[in-house]
């Protein structure tokens, strides 16, 4: 009943709609895009309109009507027809359309549709489109692992080959089909790869640039295939062998694709890298225990190593990267050692001109004809000497540090390629050798017709043309450096009397040919002075040049100076011989010849220097003679010891090793060593520093340590003698005893050195206790008893407690010692003051010299007159004394407290070193040391040094007044309290020679001497007139000295000194006249300055000056 009622209601509703519609006309219908039903259908699927709507315009209303409404008609759909279909929708009297598409369940797109016979299926292209029942789809790539293809075959051509694809997903299998065309290959085009040349060490075939192109008959299918390695066969680089270094191996490669074959040829070279690897493999088992050609290395193998290295050196950096370090090291070592041996063997052919020995080159050239033959051979340029040498020198350049034999196999030092190949001469050097031989031969041949018994007259009459040609040959030679001087000597020795240069000097030193100055003209001689001098002068030149080289070596860190000192002394002796007994020509040439490239000008160039200038330079330059002796120059004991060493060195040089076995050698060494130990401790240190200029800087740390060889000849000779003389069982004690002498010598510089000395002496005892044979110990003790006992006493008594050594009892000498220490303190003050002023380009040299001379006089008094305790105290008591020194702190001049510390011996050395140094380079005055010593003596009065020592009172008192160095009390302080000394100083000054006075004034840059006298006058309270007279008296004294020194001299303004003296004299006379009016002031003036005043009046009168003052006539007087 209920169901029937519901149907009645629905029918009523439909009637209502129909009634409503039927009332209005349908104007337009459309299926909007948003209202489309399902539009994609799988083949065989029914139409589904359930989701579609129709939009209708009815009257003025727009309504939506379901497409499946009974009033809506849809026609035109065929479910069994693939493709797009247009359906017609009818409603009312209006129609519209929309499109649907019928598709297979599985379709294939973007696939390869054409193939050549023989090609494989290409699943890299294509995809499966699978459509669901609702019209949606999903895509699967053809190469998906779940996709299978069947029915594909390219064995024969086919215009439409059906292919089936199957895909499974979630248990559902999807199948589809598509057609492909298979064509026969009608045409093939081949392009071979770009790379046609290979080195056999390469590993990969390069097919870049190669391709094969296929076409079918109507060219509807063209396939362009880039070559891949798997398409090519026949590639084998290992087929190339060493035989293919010059002619490459030709190899034919085959390209195959789809049954089509093409060929092309490549060339394979046996590469540089392969050659290097081959050679390295041949040498890899060599053992390197010595830096020589290894055992088992044949000549062919050695040549192969050189060839391989030549190849390597020419490779690019990129190519070299493929050579392993092991391969390279093997080649370098083999080529270096074998190449050196081969080069030396070839070099041996030149032995009649020059040869190798002990790492050096020695010239022989004793036979002219043999030398000439060597020259001819050199010009032929032996390939070993030239071509192999080029390879070896380049190996040296690039691999100098490569180790051939490591340190553990070669006495503690690596032997490197650089060590080995340094012996090989470059081709440039060999060319130079040839040039030198050519010059020697030319020189000899130029004068070979001059007879051995020539005379000067014959030279001028018969051989002048030859000699002039020879002069041109010498003048134009490029071999002018001193290293080539031996060339000319060797050429000269080919003459019977070795007189080649004798001929030239005799011919050109023509006393009838003089210059404008009336001296023998040396123009022509100057052309060959750089080649050879007359015999004695040549030897002198070689000594001087050797000294110069030694100076340069030491400036560059070379640690020995004995060669400089040795050859300097030899040069001095020979100079004296030439000047005293040489020929007139030798003396003249000594004085006048100048030499280049020996003395620098400080600006990168050179001065031309005479022999005297060269000697001066060697004496005064840094690292020169004065530098090494410095503090002890002109000290007789020091220079005497040096003379003994020189004598031993000279004899050892002449006699060689056999000299060491002679009694003469033993006596000389013992005398020298005894002389050494008589030097003061500090002198001993400085003597060693003379021989090893960096000794006091710690190099060597100990001069008696000869484990790496003796650091100097002195030590060498001493050890040589005593080790030969004493039993070997005592040699350790011997070395330790000598070390103890060194520790004692440096004690004065360092209070902690006491412990070092006592420890060294204890070790001597320990070593002696270990000597088994009593006779051996007795021999040792007897040999050195003369100083060993004294050293033992110092170690066990005075220095028994190193921290509290026993001071000597000075007795009555204590006062002198105190005065000495005070003088030392004053000298150190003056030294520091001079250093400060010198650093600023000025000087306080005079005050320092004066203070030093005073300290030295006191030191000499202690040593000359003091008893044993006094001398021990001077040498071995380390003292400290409070003192003050000047300093610069933040650009401010200050006086600072400090301590004077050291032994008297060391402190005097320190001052003397500074004293000599100050005189070697006085600002504005240069090297004064020699001049200062020369003018010291004074026959008429006090010696200069004595005067300076006396006048030191003035300078230190002046400093005391200026900077209050001592504690003083009172309102009116008087500093110059020793009146008698002041008067004596003024009197002694007047006894100095004019040269001495002039030097004092020159060194007294700030006029401290005369300013001190003026201050002294002020302290005597003599009044203004007396003060003015004293000041004028100082000026008169100054100008009188200048007048005496330079009678015709004048100042920088052009005023003559005599006129200036007269001017100051007249003012002084007037001041004195005013002074004379005050009897008390005049009396004081006369007491202190009367003698000086009278002295200069007398001297000025002798000089012709008016010394009488005429008072002016006062107004009202007649």
pLDDT value at position 359? 80
How many whole angstroms separate alpha carbon 507 and alpha carbon 230? 92
How many whole angstroms separate alpha carbon 998 and alpha carbon 928? 13
Cis peptide before 700 (omega within 30 of 0): yes
Residues of the chain with pLDDT > 70, as a percent, come to 96
720-750: b (≥16 Cβ within 10 Å) or e: bbbeeebeebbebbbbbbbbbbbbbbbbbbe
Which residue bears the tokens 């299998």? 173
Does 261 score more than 70 pLDDT?
Answer: yes
| 458's tokens | 């014959």
Q: Are 48 and 113 in contact (CB under 8 A)?
A: no
The CA angle 392-393-394, to the nearest 5 degrees, is: 90
Q: How many residues does the chain have?
A: 1118
* 867 or 880, greater pLDDT: 867
Phi, psi of 878, rounded to the nearest 5 degrees = -85, 120
Q: Are 217 and 186 in contact (CB under 8 A)?
A: yes
How many whole angstroms separate alpha carbon 503 and alpha carbon 508? 9
pLDDT value at position 12? 44
The runs of H, that is alpha helices, within 656-712 are 663-678, 681-691
β-bridge pairing 260-269 and 197-199:
parallel
Helix axes 1024-1045, 1057-1075, angle to 10 degrees: 160
Give 166-204 pLDDT, tens digit per residue.
Answer: 999 988 999 999 999 999 999 999 999 999 999 999 999
How many whole angstroms separate alpha carbon 477 and alpha carbon 475? 6
Q: List Cβ neighbours of 975 (8 Å cut-off, separation of 6 or more).
A: 957, 958, 960, 961, 968, 1015, 1019
How many whole angstroms separate alpha carbon 569 and alpha carbon 693? 18
CATH topology of 106-183 equal to that of 187-269? Answer: yes
pLDDT value at position 970? 54
pLDDT value at position 94? 93
pLDDT value at position 5? 43
6: confidence class by pLDDT, cuts 50, 70, 90 = very low
Q: List Cβ neighbours of 753 (8 Å cut-off, separation of 6 or more).
A: 743, 746, 747
How many whole angstroms separate alpha carbon 266 and alpha carbon 364? 60
Phi, psi of 515, rounded to the nearest 5 degrees = -90, -170
Nearest to residue 374, comparing CAs of 392, 391, 355?
355
pLDDT value at position 43? 94
How many whole angstroms separate alpha carbon 653 and alpha carbon 562? 13
Can you tell me the mean pLDDT for 311-319? Answer: 94
Secondary structure letter of residue 559 according to DSSP: -
Can you tell me the mean pLDDT for 863-881? Answer: 93
Give the helix, strand, coil percentages of the chain, each rounded to 5. Answer: 55, 15, 30
697: confidence class by pLDDT, cuts 50, 70, 90 = confident
Can you tell me the mean pLDDT for 537-559? Answer: 91
Other CB atoms closer than 10 Å to residue 369's CB: what's the count?
A: 8
Does 854 score more than 70 pLDDT?
Answer: yes
Sign of the Cα torsion 390, 391, 394, 395 reads negative
Does 23 score more than 90 pLDDT?
Answer: no
The domain ranges of the chain are 24-101, 106-183, 187-269, 273-425, 437-532, 539-752, 820-988, 1020-1111
Nearest to residue 732, comparing CAs of 707, 753, 698, 756?
707
Is the CATH code 2.60.40.2310 the one for domain 24-101? Answer: no
Nearest to residue 761, comparing CAs of 780, 742, 776, 779?
742
Distance of CA 438 to the CA centre of its chain: 38
Does 442 score more than 70 pLDDT?
Answer: yes
pLDDT value at position 16? 42
Q: Are 687 and 712 in contact (CB under 8 A)?
A: no
Q: What is 299-350 written as a DSSP string?
A: HHHHHHHHHHHHHHHHS-HHHHTTS-HHHHHHHHHHHHHHHHHHHHHHHGGG
How many whole angstroms separate alpha carbon 179 and alpha carbon 462? 120
How many whole angstroms separate alpha carbon 238 and alpha carbon 280? 18
pLDDT value at position 20? 43
pLDDT value at position 969? 61
pLDDT value at position 966? 76
350: confidence class by pLDDT, cuts 50, 70, 90 = very high
How many whole angstroms separate alpha carbon 1007 and alpha carbon 1016? 14
How many whole angstroms separate alpha carbon 30 and alpha carbon 63? 11
Can you tell me the mean pLDDT for 826-853? Answer: 92
Give 234-252 pLDDT, tens digit per residue.
Answer: 999 999 999 999 999 999 9
Q: Are 716 and 653 in contact (CB under 8 A)?
A: no
Which residue bears the tokens 């090793």? 657
One CATH from 2.60.40.3630, 1.10.10.2160, 1.20.140.10, 3.40.50.300 for 106-183 = 2.60.40.3630
Helix (H, G, I), strand (E, B) or coil at 747: helix
* 893 or 409, greater pLDDT: 893
Secondary structure letter of residue 201 according to DSSP: T
Can you tell me the mean pLDDT for 505-526? Answer: 84
How many whole angstroms separate alpha carbon 580 and alpha carbon 536? 13
Does 1033 score more than 90 pLDDT?
Answer: yes
User: What kind and span of H or E run contains 767?
Assistant: helix 753-769
| 56's tokens | 């209708």
Sign of the Cα torsion 139, 145, 151, 155 reads positive
pLDDT value at position 1114? 65
How many whole angstroms separate alpha carbon 279 and alpha carbon 276? 5
Q: Are 79 and 44 in contact (CB under 8 A)?
A: yes
- Side-chain half-sphere of 579: how many Cα atoms within 13 Å? 12
Nearest to residue 338, comparing CAs of 375, 306, 386?
306
Q: Are 116 and 133 in contact (CB under 8 A)?
A: no
Other CB atoms closer than 10 Å to residue 549's CB: what's the count?
A: 15
Give 220-238 pLDDT, tens digit per residue.
Answer: 999 999 999 999 999 999 9
- Side-chain half-sphere of 264: how many Cα atoms within 13 Å? 19
Helix (H, G, I), strand (E, B) or coil at 278: helix
User: What kind and span of H or E run contains 894?
Assistant: strand 892-902
CATH of domain 187-269: 2.60.40.3630
pLDDT value at position 49? 94
Q: What is the mean pLDDT of the chain?
A: 91
């Amino acid at each position: 009943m209920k169901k029937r009622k519901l149907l009645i209601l629905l029918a009523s509703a439909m009637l209502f709609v129909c009634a409503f519609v039927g009332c209005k006309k349908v104007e337009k219908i459309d299926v909007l895009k948003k209202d489309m039903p399902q539009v994609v259908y799988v083949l065989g699927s029914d139409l589904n309109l359930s989701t579609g709507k129709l939009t209708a315009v009815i009257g003025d209303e727009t309504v939506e009507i379901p497409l499946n409404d009974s009033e809506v008609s849809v026609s035109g759909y065929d479910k069994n027809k693939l493709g797009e279909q247009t359906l017609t929708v009818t409603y009312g009297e209006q129609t519209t359309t929309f499109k649907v598409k019928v598709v297979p369940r599985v379709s294939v797109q973007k696939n390869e549709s054409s193939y050549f016979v023989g090609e494989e299926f290409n699943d890299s292209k294509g995809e499966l489109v699978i459509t669901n029942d609702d019209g949606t789809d999903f895509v699967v790539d053809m190469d998906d692992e779940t996709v299978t293809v069947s029915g594909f075959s390219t064995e024969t051509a086919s215009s439409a080959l059906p292919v089936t694809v199957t895909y499974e997903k979630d248990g559902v299998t999807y199948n589809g089909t598509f057609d492909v065309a298979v064509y026969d290959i009608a045409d093939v085009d081949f392009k071979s790869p770009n790379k046609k040349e290979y080195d056999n060490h390469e590993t990969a075939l390069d097919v870049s640039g190669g391709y094969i192109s296929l076409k079918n008959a109507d060219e509807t299918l063209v396939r362009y295939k880039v070559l891949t390695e798997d398409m090519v066969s026949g590639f084998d680089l290992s087929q190339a062998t060493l035989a293919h270094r010059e002619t490459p191996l030709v190899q034919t490669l085959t390209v195959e694709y789809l049954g089509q074959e093409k060929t092309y040829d490549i060339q394979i070279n046996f590469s540089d890298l392969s050659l290097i690897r081959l050679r390295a493999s041949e040498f890899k088992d060599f053992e390197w225990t010595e830096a020589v050609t290894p055992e088992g290395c044949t000549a062919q193998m050695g040549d192969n190593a050189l060839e391989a290295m030549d190849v390597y050196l020419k490779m690019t950096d990129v190519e070299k990267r493929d050579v392993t370090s092991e391969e390279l090291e093997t080649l370098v070592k083999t080529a270096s050692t074998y190449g050196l041996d081969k080069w030396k063997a070839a070099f041996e052919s030149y032995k009649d001109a020059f040869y190798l020995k002990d790492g050096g080159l020695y010239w022989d050239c004793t036979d002219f004809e043999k030398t000439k033959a060597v020259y001819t051979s050199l010009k032929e340029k032996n390939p070993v000497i030239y071509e192999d040498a080029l390879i070896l020198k380049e190996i040296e350049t690039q691999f100098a540090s490569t180790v051939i034999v490591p340190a553990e196999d070669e006495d503690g030092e690596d032997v490197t390629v650089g060590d080995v190949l340094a012996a090989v001469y470059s081709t440039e050097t060999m060319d130079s050798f040839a040039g030198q031989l050519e010059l020697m031969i030319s020189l000899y041949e130029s004068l070979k017709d001059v007879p051995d018994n020539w005379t000067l007259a014959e030279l001028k009459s018969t051989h002048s043309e030859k000699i002039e040609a020879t002069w041109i040959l010498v003048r134009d030679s490029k071999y002018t450096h001193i290293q080539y001087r031996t060339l000319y000597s060797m050429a000269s020795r080919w003459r019977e009397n070795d007189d080649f240069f004798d001929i030239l000097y005799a011919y050109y030193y023509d006393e009838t040919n003089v210059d404008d100055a009336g001296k023998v003209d040396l123009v022509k001689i100057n052309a060959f002075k750089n080649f050879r001098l007359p015999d004695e002068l040549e030897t002198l030149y070689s000594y001087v040049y050797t000294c110069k080289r030694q100076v340069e070596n030491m400036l560059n860190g070379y640690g020995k100076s004995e060669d400089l000192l040795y050859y300097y002394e030899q040069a001095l002796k020979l100079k004296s011989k030439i000047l005293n007994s040489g020929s007139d020509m030798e003396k003249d040439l000594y004085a006048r010849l100048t030499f280049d490239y020996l003395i620098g000008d400080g600006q990168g160039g050179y001065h031309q220097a005479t022999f005297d200038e060269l000697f001066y330079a060697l004496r005064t330059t840094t690292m020169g003679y004065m530098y090494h002796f410095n503090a002890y120059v002109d000290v007789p004991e020091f220079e005497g010891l040096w003379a003994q060493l020189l004598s031993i060195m000279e004899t050892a040089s002449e006699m060689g090793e056999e000299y060491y076995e002679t009694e003469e050698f033993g006596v000389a060494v013992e005398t020298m060593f005894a002389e050494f130990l008589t030097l003061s401790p500090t002198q001993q240190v400085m003597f060693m520093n003379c021989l090893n200029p960096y000794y006091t800087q710690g190099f060597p740390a100990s001069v008696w340590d000869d484990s790496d060889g003796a650091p100097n000849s002195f030590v060498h000779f001493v050890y040589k003698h005593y080790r030969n003389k004493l039993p070997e069982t005592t040699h350790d004690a011997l070395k330790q005893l000598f070390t103890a002498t060194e520790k004692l010598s440096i004690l004065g510089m360092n209070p902690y050195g006491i412990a070092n000395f006592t420890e060294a002496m204890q070790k001597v005892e320990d070593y002696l206790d270990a000597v088994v044979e009593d006779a051996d110990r007795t021999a040792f003790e007897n040999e050195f008893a003369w100083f060993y006992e004294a050293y033992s006493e110092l170690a066990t008594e005075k220095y028994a407690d190193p921290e509290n050594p026993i001071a000597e009892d000075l007795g009555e000498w204590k006062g002198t010692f105190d005065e000495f220490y005070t003088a030392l303190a004053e000298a150190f003050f003056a030294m520091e003051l001079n250093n400060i002023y010198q650093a600023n380009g000025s000087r306080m040299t005079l005050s320092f010299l004066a203070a030093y001379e005073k300290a030295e006089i006191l030191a000499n008094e202690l040593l000359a007159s003091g008893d044993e305790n006094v001398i021990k105290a001077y040498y071995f008591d380390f003292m400290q004394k409070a003192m003050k020194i000047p300093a610069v702190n933040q650009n401010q001049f200050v006086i600072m407290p400090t301590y004077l510390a050291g032994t008297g011996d060391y402190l005097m050395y320190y001052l003397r070193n500074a004293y000599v140094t100050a005189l070697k380079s006085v600002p504005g005055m240069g090297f004064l040391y020699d001049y200062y010593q020369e003018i010291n003596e004074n026959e008429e009065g006090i010696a200069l040094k004595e005067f300076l020592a006396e006048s030191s009172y003035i300078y230190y008192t002046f400093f005391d007044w200026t900077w209050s160095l001592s504690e003083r009390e009172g309102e009116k302080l008087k500093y110059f309290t020793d009146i008698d000394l002041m008067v004596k100083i003024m009197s002694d000054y007047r006894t100095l020679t004019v040269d001495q006075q002039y030097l004092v004034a020159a060194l007294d840059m700030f006029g401290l001497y005369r300013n001190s006298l003026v201050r002294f006058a002020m302290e005597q309270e003599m009044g203004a007139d007396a003060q003015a007279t004293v000041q004028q008296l100082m000026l008169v004294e100054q100008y009188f000295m200048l007048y005496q020194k330079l009678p015709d001299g004048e100042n920088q303004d052009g005023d003559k000194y005599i006129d200036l003296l007269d001017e100051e004299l007249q003012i002084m006379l007037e001041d004195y006249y005013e002074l004379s009016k005050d009897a008390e002031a005049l009396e004081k003036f006369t007491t202190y300055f009367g003698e000086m005043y009278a002295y200069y009046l007398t001297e000025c009168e002798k000089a012709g000056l008016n010394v009488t003052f005429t008072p002016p006539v006062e107004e009202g007087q007649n």
